[in-house]
Amino acid sequence: MDFSPPAEAAPRGLIGRLDALVVGALGIAALGLASLNVLLRTFAPRHAIEWGDEVQVYLVVWAVCLSFAAVTAADRHVRADLFVGMMPGPVQRVFGLLGDGLGLVMAGTLCWLAVLVTYEAWDFGDVSTTTLRFPLWIYTASLPVGMGLMTFTYLLRVLARLGLGVRRA
């Protein structure tokens, strides 16, 4: 089985390129911070950034959560479709609609629950335990933002499968 993306993949639109730019920038920032901290810990331990690991995690988590929608739009998320691929076209389309509908419900539910968690972190004034004392609601907000974008992408996919929306979700 070939798991590589098709060579003739459609070019990404403005939102897809912007998403790639933001996710890439967050990843590069995390990598830069990690590299700097390794160098400081090796050659100048007194100057190591105590909160560096924490911020790296925040940057990577935000990058991952922001990529939820892009992965969904590109149809590159994890799924079990071995048997569905062997079925006739109309049955595949029904299962595709069912899968996208379930994804829409699941992403919407997780988005709502993540909003509640983020609100509680804000309401309770939760902060990190490092000297940075970073407000944790900013960190936890990555999940409702990512799941919200994923929910919207699934909605576009369902509408497209029903012939009611743009074909490219």
> Is the confidence at residue 5, as pLDDT, over 90?
no
Beta carbons of 63 and 57 less than 8 angstroms apart: no
> Is the confidence at residue 62, as pLDDT, over 90?
yes
Torsion, Cα 116 122 123 128, to 10 degrees, reads 120
Amino acid at 136: L
Amino acid at 60: V
Beta carbons of 35 and 52 less than 8 angstroms apart: no
What average pLDDT does range 93-100 have in this prediction? Answer: 90
Spatial separation of the C-alpha atoms in residues 147 and 158, rounded to whole Å: 16
> Is the confidence at residue 87, as pLDDT, over 90?
no
What average pLDDT does range 4-25 have in this prediction? Answer: 73
> Is the confidence at residue 6, as pLDDT, over 50?
yes
Q: What percent of the chain is predicted at pLDDT more than 70?
A: 89
DSSP letter string over 7-76? TTPPPP-HHHHHHHHHHHHHHHHHHHHHHHHHHHHHH-GGG--TTHHHHHHHHHHHHHHHTHHHHHHTT-
Where are the domains positioned within the chain? 14-161
Whole-prediction pTM: 0.83
